[in-house]
Amino acid sequence: MILTAILLSLSSKPARAALDVRSAENLASHFKTKLNEGELKSDAKQLVIQLKWESDRVNAHATRDDQGNMLVTVDGGMLRHQLMTEETFMAVLCHELGHHLGGAPRQFRGNTQFRGWSSAEGQADFYAASKCLPALWSNQNVEKSGPEWDKALELCKGDRVCARVGLAGFALAQLFASERPDSGHLELGHQTQFPVFTTVYGHSTPQCRAETFLAGARCADDKDTPFDPQNPFQGDCSEAGGGRPACWFAPEEFR
């Protein structure tokens, strides 16, 4: 379903848990409008967002059609989840767009050593936090309060957009953790002590995903530099100390 463009200004009122059809469609249309305005502009073909309300799956995925258009599908179980909010939904859309525009490292095609078009799961999260969500929220003044907000502001050194992005990613990680009984307790700002030796291309733990969103949100440089499909270090803020977390990314593989 190609959603019609209905520009929606995200308000400063607290986000409601679980989305109804109209609010989700308006948010998706707002997302597409921002993409078309150039704030998330790409040379790729059209973005098509499908909201499958009839599906009970707690899932979203990115594919391409026969014309090369970017498809993003969000299932009803995800949209109706009790932990879903407007900001979490934006994080979901940015993550799925990150599979299309996130660049390297990209997933392998099947069991081959050839790279496909889709960015790795962790890279899609990193794109969402470092490029996509800041582009959506950079000009918005949202008032928030509470212990988590204060901690996010501290971790982001007072940068309110960074704090908002970090909390949106943390909320998304909590949503996925609720579907995984073995996830354990999530902590905002926690850093995994045991780095991976090989890059994880599939889904990492919810805690690692929260770390990835915060790392991307704290990336102070290169927000306007697109990620490269071959070179994972272009635009990744690694020189500024804001690169991908070691819970899923092994940089030595690419040096």
pLDDT in tens, 165-213: 999 999 999 999 999 888 888 999 998 888 999 999 999 999 999 999 9
The model carries a pTM of 0.89
The answer to whether residues 72 and 47 touch, using CB atoms and an 8 Å cutoff, is yes
pLDDT of residue 76: 95
Q: Calculate the CA 42 to chain-centre distance.
A: 17
Nearest to 215 by CA among 91, 86, 128, 100: 128
**Mean pLDDT (the chain, rounded):** 87
Nearest to 206 by CA among 31, 88, 34: 88
Kindly report the CA angle at 25 between 16 and 169, in degrees rounded to 5?
50
CA distance 11 to 170: 20
Name, in order, each residue with C-beta under 8 angstroms of 62's C-beta and a sequence gap of 6 or more: 70, 71, 72, 73, 96, 97, 99, 100, 118, 124
With bands split at pLDDT 50, 70 and 90, how would you rate the model's confidence at 112? Answer: confident
Considering just the CA atoms, what is the radius of gyration of the chain in Å? 17
Name, in order, each residue with C-beta under 8 angstroms of 193's C-beta and a sequence gap of 6 or more: none
Instruction: Please write the tens of the pLDDT for every residue from 122-171.
Output: 999 999 999 999 999 988 888 888 999 999 999 999 999 999 999 999 99
Instruction: Please write the tens of the pLDDT for every residue from 38-60.
Output: 655 666 678 999 999 999 999 99
With bands split at pLDDT 50, 70 and 90, how would you rate the model's confidence at 101? Answer: very high
User: Would you mind telling me the total number of residues written for the chain in this entry?
Assistant: 255
In the numeric block, which tokens belong to residue 247?
């819970």
pLDDT of residue 43: 60
Tokens 């249309």 sit at which residue? 29
Nearest to 54 by CA among 26, 86, 30, 78: 78
Average pLDDT of the residues in 212-232: 86
